[in-house]
Amino acid sequence: MDNNLKKLLLGAAVIGGLGSAYYLTMVKPTERSEILEKNVAETKAEIEAKDAETNPEAAQDAPVVDAPVSQSKEPVAEESKLDATVPTEDYTDKSVAAVIEDLNKNITIAEVKKTADLLPRQMREVPFQTMYPILLRQAVDMVILEHNAVKEGFDKKSDIQNTIQDRKRAILVASFLEKEVDEKISDDVLLKKYDEVKKMIPQDEKEIEIAHVLLKTEAEAKKLIKDIESGKTTFEKALEKSLDEKTKKTGGKIGFLKRMEVAPELFEKIGATKDDNVVAEPLSFGKMGSSVLRVLSKRPLTVPKFDEIKGELKKAMMPELSQEIIKKIKADADVKLFALDGSAIPERSEEELKKSLETDTPSAVDASKMDAKFVCGKFKGGEITLADLRVAYDGLPEMLRILPFEKMYELVLIKVMNERVLSFSAEKAGLAKDAKVQEKIAAESRMVMQDAYLKARAETLITETDLKTDYERIKKNLADKNEMEYRLRHIMSATEAEAKSVLTQLKSGKSFDELVEGSIDDATKANKGELGYVRKRYLPKDYQDVITKAVKGTLVNKVIKIADGKFSVMRLEDKRAVTPPSFEQMKDQIKSGLVAKKAVEVLEQSRSSMKISYQNLKGLPTASELEVMFKKINAQMSEVLKSGKMPEMPGM
């Protein structure tokens, strides 16, 4: 698929302050970047093109600058005219992009570029000129936050220092594994993997050229499909209403689609559609809208050349080779693990460990009454105590901490042991003195400190009234009196034929509890196939009606095709109206959401307390253009903070 659809799917981040807030308040890089992947921005060039329609004289002098601006449809304000002095020399990494005068700090282009490392990987492909305003604002925010954090002693807090040590170990481990894997993976090894991948591609596999009309809602898209099929309108005429300004000028074309880029069921429907016809089902892009797809042509799948996917092949092999390396290093380090009762823990595979969470009975020993200095594991180079595991357990995602410490003990112990052994090996190999690794550690240390400062300051702005107001807003959105949820159990089979056989046996009187033992879904089999309560909107789309119309305590009278091409026989145990969770149940979750919003205010306050000047650089938005862009972004952010809703893409 070409870059048009990729950009539509990924978006080009133009949220400015909000982007900064999410970068710095979320602990994991992937979480920091999620908010950026939900929006598509107009470029400066597009705004100027629109202005040209109403002000051709001004357009003649305006340069084309591929830089993002706010999503407002209004003409650019007078302030956005070019500065009187426009530089003629090209910028370099040493060029000064901004000056924070109160701190006597110059921010260079090199420093601005480095902030791109915080972006999702796909967005790093977006041209620097396009991302420049966002990256520049991010670079400025980071300098100010670091200054404020150090000023208030955040760099000396013990919990922050502990987090920094954890991040340092993680960087050392990642760098060490990457180095070890690099030494193991030669071009010959990658070529062999490349040949294996090519053989896996079916000989008759095709890729499909498609065009689309992007509309605001799924209902609009479904209506358009019906109107085109009935002859009421044409795809070409519908293109005039498409919200995708870029593709509507080229017939809606978004390139060639491959099987792995959409849900399997949808790809089958697209593949079954004749050329020049629309697909019977729209493709949803969530808040960005839904697309009516038109099949233009089909061709045999083109296998990328070895050099084009060499990097991806290497990444694909990394997990497997990493496990081999970890196993060898642990053997060399003479690793010994101990259960809470002091007995030795035998080595177990990853699959066995996952299964143990479902089947193993937690230790009868109450860890909370044990000495924190109890040695849980040893290796050549150190030991791990119960206190170490407590810290690691507390750092797990909330979903995993639902399970008691005693249940998670072995998994946490192995995780900590792997980190310690590998970081010890990395130090031994001299990686801690490597300039690039040191740079990563220093950057991550600053980020940890900034995260902590921003979160702490944001929390001081949150009141009980804020929490309750946000709860009422959320509850109102959740309160659909007609929405139901359905408690389901299922038996999963690998093929449709096997699932039909299960359904036949159940209808003939076989016990569900007996047949569920043959389910291939290990995660639910141990609990009699229990899926819990599921809302209608989350059920497989093609089977929603047959599931919801089933009688409580009976089988769903149809085999259900689910993810990954598997099939399920389901039993409806109960149905009930959806009840919004209570304020107390949602309080922590609401607070987390408000921290991100209040962080925007903290950033704005921090910026406004400093005197910042932006420099004019050839090929980049000028100082006055940046000021206009920032004002529009701030205005957009005010709307976001008032409504609690993310801004939608242009035209929506």
* Residue 517 Rama label (left phi>0; alpha psi -120 to 50; beta): alpha
Q: Is the separation of the CB atoms in 21 and 603 below 8 Å? A: yes
Reported confidence tier of residue 68, pLDDT bands at 50, 70, 90: very low
Asked which of 394-408, 436-450, 567-581 is least confident by mean pLDDT, the reply is 394-408
Q: Is the separation of the CB atoms in 252 and 235 below 8 Å? A: yes
Q: Is the separation of the CB atoms in 213 and 239 below 8 Å? A: yes
Q: Any idea where the domains of the chain sit in the sequence?
A: 3-151+610-643, 162-184+312-441, 202-300, 480-577
pLDDT reported for residue 360: 64
- What is the average pLDDT across 54-79? 34
Helix (H) or strand (E) holding 484: strand 484-493
**pLDDT tens by residue, 546-556:** 888 889 999 99
Burial (CB count <10 Å: 0-12, 13-18, 19+), residue 350? exposed
Supply 531's token pair: 């899926």
- CATH number 3.10.50.40 is the correct assignment for the domain at 202-300: yes
**pLDDT tens by residue, 107-118:** 999 999 998 887
**pLDDT tens by residue, 510-556:** 999 999 999 998 878 888 999 989 888 788 877 888 888 889 999 99
Share of the chain above pLDDT 90, in %: 42
Paired residues of 613 in beta bridges: 99
Cα angle for residues 411, 413, 416 (degrees, 5° grid)? 110
pLDDT reported for residue 3: 36
**pLDDT tens by residue, 71-88:** 333 333 333 333 445 555
Helix (H) or strand (E) holding 411: helix 405-428
Supply 375's token pair: 């040695």
Cα distances (angstroms) measured from residue 370 to each of 28, 375, 376, 377, 390? 32, 11, 12, 15, 12
Supply 254's token pair: 């978004």
Supply 428's token pair: 């031994």
* Coil vs helix vs strand at 609: coil
Helices (H), 185-305: 187-200, 218-230, 235-238, 245-248, 264-272
Q: Is the separation of the CB atoms in 49 and 32 below 8 Å? A: no
- Cα 329 versus chain centre, distance: 32
Assigned CATH class of 480-577: alpha beta
- For residue 139, pLDDT over 80 is answered with yes
* Coil vs helix vs strand at 12: coil
pLDDT reported for residue 94: 93
Asked which of 54-63, 313-322, 326-335, 452-461 is least confident by mean pLDDT, the reply is 54-63
Reported confidence tier of residue 481, pLDDT bands at 50, 70, 90: low
E-assigned strand segments in 68-185? 96-100, 105-108
Cα distances (angstroms) measured from residue 39 to each of 68, 288, 601? 12, 8, 21
Question: Would you list the DSSP string of 37-100?
Answer: GG----BHHHHHHHHHHH-HHHHHH------B--S--SPPPGGGSPPSS---SBP-TTSEEEEE
Q: Matching CATH topology for 202-300 and 480-577?
A: yes
Helices (H), 260-305: 264-272
CA-to-CA distance for 215 and 292, rounded, in angstroms? 8
Mean pLDDT for the chain overall: 80
CA-to-CA distance for 98 and 623, rounded, in angstroms? 9
CA-to-CA distance for 183 and 173, rounded, in angstroms? 15
CA-to-CA distance for 403 and 386, rounded, in angstroms? 17
DSSP state of 620: S
Over the Cα atoms of the chain, what is R_g? Answer: 28
- What is the average pLDDT across 457-471? 93
CA-to-CA distance for 615 and 621, rounded, in angstroms? 9
Place of tokens 């690998």: 494
* Position with higher pLDDT, 163 vs 65: 163
Q: Is the separation of the CB atoms in 568 and 490 below 8 Å? A: yes
**pLDDT tens by residue, 237-294:** 999 999 888 888 889 998 888 887 777 778 888 989 999 999 999 988 766 788 999 9
User: CB within 8 A of 289, min separation 6: which ones?
Assistant: 214, 215, 216, 217, 221, 243, 649, 652
CA-to-CA distance for 341 and 338, rounded, in angstroms? 8
Express the helix, strand and coil content of the chain in percent, nearest 5 each.
Answer: 60, 15, 30
Q: Is the separation of the CB atoms in 521 and 514 below 8 Å? A: no
- Cα 192 versus chain centre, distance: 31
CA-to-CA distance for 289 and 273, rounded, in angstroms? 22
Supply 543's token pair: 């089977």
pLDDT reported for residue 25: 28
**pLDDT tens by residue, 364-376:** 888 999 999 999 9
Reported confidence tier of residue 350, pLDDT bands at 50, 70, 90: low
pLDDT reported for residue 86: 53
Q: Is the separation of the CB atoms in 271 and 206 below 8 Å? A: yes
Per-residue 3-state assignment (H helix, E strand, C coil) for 460-471: HCCCHHHHHHHH
Asked which of 21-25, 499-503, 520-524, 598-602 is least confident by mean pLDDT, the reply is 21-25
- For residue 41, pLDDT over 70 is answered with no
DSSP state of 113: H
CA-to-CA distance for 428 and 150, rounded, in angstroms? 32
Closest CA relative to residue 599, chosen from 635, 637, 627, 629: 637
**pLDDT tens by residue, 157-166:** 998 998 899 8
State how beta strands 567-577 and 206-215 pair.
Answer: unpaired
Per-residue 3-state assignment (H helix, E strand, C coil) for 541-589: HHHHHHHHCCCCCEECCCCEECHHHCEEEEEEEEEEECCCCCHHHHHHH
